[in-house]
Amino acid sequence: MKASEPARILVVDDEPYIGEIIARYLTVEGYVCRIASCGEDALRVLRSYNCHLVLADIMMPGMSGIDLLNILRTLYPDVAVVMVTSVSDRDTSILAIDLGAYGYIVKPFERNELLLHVANALERRRAAIRRQKGSDKHPSIPRLVKLTRSPIRISAKKVVDLIRSGMDDAALMETFNLSAKALHSLLDQLVAAGALTQSEVNDRGSLSPGSVVIDADNLRLPNESKAKPIISAADAVKCIRSGMDDSSLMKRYNISARALRSLFGKLVASGALGQFEIDKRISETHEWAILKE
């Protein structure tokens, strides 16, 4: 995006009134806006609309904003994403940032607050692209995102057949030597390609819990919801630092790949682990999966 070129923004919200208000605020400031009513609609728009920023509501029927964020990070890595929600949920905020969102706005918000988040996200995007171009000029300087093995190609039909046969996340990761993050990428690509429906991916949450609560102080908190198992932070850190891989961690705590990423994010947010310790795990398994027919 050139300095004189107006930023192109896609607003995704299932409430038309909210989407129109956001677009109006941004258009007055010189931004070029499009509106999508759901995640699926947003993906259709992005096939022909080269935008710089997506503002996505989190709580949407069908494909949620978090689901859309996962797909955007895979298919459109240069597009900045800012999440918008009416729920002030710290866990959701941490998850969104952990998955690559540039910011998080809670409704109702002030006009100036929205404009500030948008301006900051676009500037961070420009800075990230400048760094990327700069590092390309100096190939001798290692780049963290390229320290992993080469992307692997996986048969879409084989994955779909295994998923529909009932294979769980941990077994899929072992079969294809994937990390939890790469499995997310794989499932998102299958949905985007039409090989799986979003409901089939969402239904996999019933195989194991979708999020976790960490017990940082060994208080043995009562587990009031089976959907959110309580995991000892001390035990998780010990297992991670001992070299236990993603699939082994998932089996130990009976959680899904999504829940494992939630666990990592909460351990880092609580200070129990350093982000570098999570980043280091990337090099131990394939981080990207490219589907083939």
Residue predicted with more confidence, 220 or 231 = 231
What domain count does the chain have?
2
In this structure, are 181 and 255 located in the same domain? yes
* pTM score of the predicted model: 0.49
Amino acid 92: pLDDT? 72
Task: Assess if residue 2 is contained within a domain.
Answer: no
Q: State the residue for tokens 């880092």.
A: 268
**Pairwise CA distance, residues 235 & 19, whole Å:** 44
CATH number of the CATH domain containing 123 = 3.40.50.2300
Amino acid 151: pLDDT? 54
| The pLDDT of residue 211 is above 90 | no
In this structure, are 119 and 211 located in the same domain? no
| The pLDDT of residue 139 is above 50 | no
**Pairwise CA distance, residues 9 & 33, whole Å:** 5
Task: Assess if residue 235 is contained within a domain.
Answer: yes
Neighbours of 22 (CB within 10 A): 25
Q: State the average pLDDT over residues 252-266.
A: 80
Residue predicted with more confidence, 81 or 193 = 81
Give 65: exposed, middle or buried? Use CB within 10 Å, 0-12, 13-18, 19+.
buried
Residue predicted with more confidence, 224 or 270 = 270
Neighbours of 209 (CB within 10 A): 21
Beta bridge partners of 155: 292
Amino acid 282: pLDDT? 56
Q: State the average pLDDT over residues 276-286.
A: 62
In this structure, are 127 and 24 located in the same domain? yes
Each residue's pLDDT tens digit, 37-66: 999 999 999 988 899 999 999 888 888 888
Whether 6 and 31 have beta carbons less than 8 Å apart is answered as yes
Q: Which domain holds residue 63?
A: 8-136
Average model confidence (pLDDT) for the chain?
A: 77
Each residue's pLDDT tens digit, 102-130: 888 888 888 888 998 899 889 888 887 88
Amino acid 30: pLDDT? 93
In this structure, are 117 and 157 located in the same domain? no
Name the range with the highest mean pLDDT among 6-15, 91-100, 139-148, 184-193: 6-15
Pairing of strands 230-232, 213-215: parallel
In this structure, are 172 and 129 located in the same domain? no
| The pLDDT of residue 34 is above 90 | yes
| The pLDDT of residue 167 is above 70 | yes
In this structure, are 158 and 285 located in the same domain? yes
Amino acid 228: pLDDT? 67
